[in-house]
Chain A
Amino acid sequence: MPKKVKSSELRVRSSKIDLKLFFPLSILIFLFAVSLMTSFLPLYDPNKIDLDSIKRPPGIDHPFGTDSKGRDMFARVVYGAKTSIGVAVVAAFVSAFIGFFVGIVSGYFGGRLDTVLMSITDFILSFPSLLLAIAISVILPPGIYTVMIAISVVSWTSFARLIRGHVLTVRDMPFVDAARAVGCGDLRILLLHIAPLCVPLGLVMMGIKMGGFVLTEATLSFLGLGAQPPAPTWGSMISANRAYILTEPWMVIFPGLAIFITAFCFNMAGESLKDRQEVMGNRL
């Protein structure tokens, strides 16, 4: 049963939370929008090699400087946002979808199916996640789709666990019995009566996980397992420019800051979503 919260208390808390949610969210939407509109913006071509202006420090022409091949770092960082945020969002949707499906089926039907599905989940959870993601990306040909698959395979399990737990508590509530008494089939009960109740929980989980997805994407592309050069991704920029760290540190600082800010915003938004969920009485 949801905990009763005084309406005044709720209002105070939610007005506080709003800022914590909408501030990072607006930054993220802005970043993503800019990265989608790159072709309309007055940017350098991120892959254009300009040997006349290699290793330029940050200045008016090149706000983030240029790299060892004279490519404009600002353009590369902006283009990189598309890959990083895009991969994280797609991976989040895919893993949430798989986990959601497995979770409601497993929780609703129970029995042997539940045992099998949950042992698969436990099995995947018993791997150190990044090692498993690396293993998957090594096997498949490198590229952004591989990164999406690797992240999804590793992370659907936490969704499945969470949703299953929630279905277990919802399954025995009177309204499900009522629906069955009226003559609803299993499919109808699952899709129309139980699934909608799990959606908010799944969304909150997505918010919590998103920051980690951005970091995983960055790590995989840092290791050379993500989008292949010359495609600009934050992780690969850092690994490619690592050698110049002492003399031209901006080549590493800016992509790293971009990763940090994106992950921080996602984490902050996820946390405030979680707080909200807790106010509504569901502990994650």
Chain B
Amino acid sequence: MFGITLCAFFLIKALPGDPVLSLVGERAHPEIIESIKKEMGVDKGFIRQYAGYLNLLAQGNFGTSYYTNRDVLRDIIGKFPNTLALAFAAMLIAVPAGVTLGFIAAYRKDGLIDKCVNAVSLAGLSIPVFWSAIMVMLLLSLKLKLFPPSGTGDIRFLVLPAFVLSVPAAATLARITRTTVADILKMPYINTAKAKGLSSLNISAVHVLKNAIIPIVTIIGLDFGSYLNGAVVTETIFGWDGLGRFTMEGIIKRDYPVILGCIITGTAVFVLVNLITDIAYHYLDPRIRLHAKKS
């Protein structure tokens, strides 16, 4: 029951979104209408254009690109696995790094290590992704020739963009983990566990991690959005053939069907991941399960 209401809630939230977005998207047409009118025959009114786009969407069609005349949906489906691979690779780096750093900082709260972790994570949050991407590329692939600078392909192509993408995510994760774990360590049940004579490994694995997992999972879910954000820039720079680069190409060429399609897909994925995160709570935290049953 809980899951279904949640589903409905998210669907309602997601549904009006896409039309509204395409609505404002279509409004840009008057400016470039002269050129497009001849090409596309779009001289209908603004409402009718919008209705037409909605109609297309309802048929599961994103239209065709102004430039390549290819089906946008097919292109998106073709490129999506690449972006997904990139996001997962970034997650594979960010989650262990962020959680470990956060744990260490929390256990050494206000100590030197904590301050270092804090400074590093602040720096990670402040680095512009496009700049770190170029710098990493310059250092590791152009100077040291460890990785190929750009392109799509096997795992060697994946390492650099995934690393660049994971930095801000790991930084957020480390900060949240640190505050959460530091709060948990102050709880009476940690003292109880210590008094019982449990080993510190046991305490951190069972008592601390289990209670810290909800905020951590939330951030991992939200970070997925930041991967989508970052992918636009990272994929463009590293020439990774995914949705982000496709979006960027669409923007440069003002290819409205492509831009709209990509943004709608990105948002849908983001909402879906949030939904999965919320469902995951249900399994991870018995308190939420009980609460849902009551209400």
Indicate whether B266 reaches chain A with its CB closer than 8 angstroms: yes
* Chain B residues near A (Cβ < 8 Å): 10, 13-14, 16-17, 21, 24-25, 27-28, 31, 122-123, 125-131, 134-135, 137-138, 142, 225-226, 228-230, 232-233, 237, 247-248, 251-252, 254, 259, 263, 266-267, 270-271, 274
The answer to whether A245 and B138 touch across the interface, beta carbons within 8 angstroms, is yes
Given contacts A122-B13, A223-B251, A256-B128, contact A129 B138 (CB under 8 A): no
**Nearest chain B CB to A4's CB is how many angstroms away?**
17
The answer to whether B128 and A218 touch across the interface, beta carbons within 8 angstroms, is yes
Residues in A neighbouring B251, C-beta threshold 8 A: 134, 138, 223-225
The answer to whether A267 and B125 touch across the interface, beta carbons within 8 angstroms, is yes
Given contacts A123-B16, A126-B14, contact A211 B126 (CB under 8 A): yes
Residues in A neighbouring B17, C-beta threshold 8 A: 123, 126-127
The answer to whether A256 and B229 touch across the interface, beta carbons within 8 angstroms, is no
Instruction: State the CA gap A239–B24 with chains docked (Å).
Output: 28
The answer to whether B24 and A126 touch across the interface, beta carbons within 8 angstroms, is no
**Nearest chain A CB to B171's CB is how many angstroms away?**
10
Can you give 26 A-B contacts (C-beta < 8 A)? A119-B13, A123-B16, A123-B17, A126-B267, A128-B225, A128-B226, A128-B228, A130-B232, A131-B232, A134-B232, A135-B24, A138-B25, A141-B31, A219-B130, A222-B233, A223-B233, A224-B252, A238-B130, A246-B138, A246-B142, A252-B135, A255-B131, A260-B131, A263-B125, A263-B127, A266-B126
Proximity string of chain A (140-171) to chain B, C-beta cutoff 8 Å, 1 when within and 0 when not: 01000000000000000000000000000000
- Pick the contact of B126: A128, A134, A252, A267 (CB < 8 A): A267
Indicate whether A271 reaches chain B with its CB closer than 8 angstroms: yes
Residues in B neighbouring A211, C-beta threshold 8 A: 125-126
Proximity string of chain A (226-263) to chain B, C-beta cutoff 8 Å, 1 when within and 0 when not: 00000000010011001001100100110110011001
A contact residues, total (Cβ < 8 Å): 43
**Nearest chain A CB to B162's CB is how many angstroms away?**
18
Instruction: State the CA gap A166–B158 with chains docked (Å).
Output: 44
- Pick the contact of B128: A122, A126, A134, A263 (CB < 8 A): A263
Complex interface residues of chain A between 4 and 42 (CB less than 8 A to chain B): none
- Pick the contact of A264: B13, B123, B229, B233 (CB < 8 A): B123
Instruction: State the CA gap A211–B121 with chains docked (Å).
Output: 13
Indicate whether A268 reaches chain B with its CB closer than 8 angstroms: yes
Indicate whether A178 reaches chain B with its CB closer than 8 angstroms: no
Indicate whether A181 reaches chain B with its CB closer than 8 angstroms: no
A contact patch SS: helix
Residues in A neighbouring B142, C-beta threshold 8 A: 245-246
Residues in B neighbouring A128, C-beta threshold 8 A: 225-226, 228-229, 266-267, 270
The answer to whether A126 and B131 touch across the interface, beta carbons within 8 angstroms, is no
Proximity string of chain A (197-221) to chain B, C-beta cutoff 8 Å, 1 when within and 0 when not: 0000000000000010001001100
**Nearest chain A CB to B176's CB is how many angstroms away?**
13
Residues in B neighbouring A138, C-beta threshold 8 A: 25, 28, 251, 254, 259
Residues in A neighbouring B28, C-beta threshold 8 A: 138-139
- Pick the contact of B263: A123, A135, A267 (CB < 8 A): A135
* 4 closest A-B pairs by CB: A256-B131, A130-B229, A263-B126, A264-B126
The answer to whether A219 and B128 touch across the interface, beta carbons within 8 angstroms, is yes
The answer to whether B229 and A129 touch across the interface, beta carbons within 8 angstroms, is yes
The answer to whether B122 and A264 touch across the interface, beta carbons within 8 angstroms, is yes
CB-based nearest A residue for B256: A138
Most chain A beta carbons < 10 A, residue from B130, B134, B274 = B130
- For the complex with contacts A130-B229, A135-B24, 13 further pairs of A-B residues with Cβ separation under 8 Å are A123-B17, A126-B10, A139-B27, A141-B31, A223-B232, A223-B251, A224-B251, A245-B137, A252-B131, A256-B128, A263-B125, A267-B125, A267-B126
The answer to whether A219 and B25 touch across the interface, beta carbons within 8 angstroms, is no
- Pick the contact of B229: A131, A135, A239 (CB < 8 A): A131
**Nearest chain A CB to B86's CB is how many angstroms away?**
15
Instruction: State the CA gap A249–B135 with chains docked (Å).
Output: 9
**Nearest chain B CB to A245's CB is how many angstroms away?**
5
Instruction: State the CA gap A127–B20 with chains docked (Å).
Output: 12
Instruction: State the CA gap A259–B130 with chains docked (Å).
Output: 11
CB-based nearest B residue for A225: B251
**Nearest chain A CB to B65's CB is how many angstroms away?**
15
Instruction: State the CA gap A260–B16 with chains docked (Å).
Output: 37
Residues in B neighbouring A122, C-beta threshold 8 A: 13
The answer to whether A126 and B13 touch across the interface, beta carbons within 8 angstroms, is yes
Residues in B neighbouring A263, C-beta threshold 8 A: 125-128
Residues in A neighbouring B232, C-beta threshold 8 A: 130-131, 134, 223
Residues in A neighbouring B24, C-beta threshold 8 A: 135-136, 139
**Nearest chain B CB to A247's CB is how many angstroms away?**
10
Instruction: State the CA gap A215–B129 with chains docked (Å).
Output: 9
**Nearest chain A CB to B150's CB is how many angstroms away?**
12
Residues in A neighbouring B254, C-beta threshold 8 A: 138
The answer to whether A260 and B129 touch across the interface, beta carbons within 8 angstroms, is no
The answer to whether B13 and A134 touch across the interface, beta carbons within 8 angstroms, is no
Residues in B neighbouring A119, C-beta threshold 8 A: 13
CB-based nearest A residue for B123: A264
Residues in A neighbouring B270, C-beta threshold 8 A: 126-128
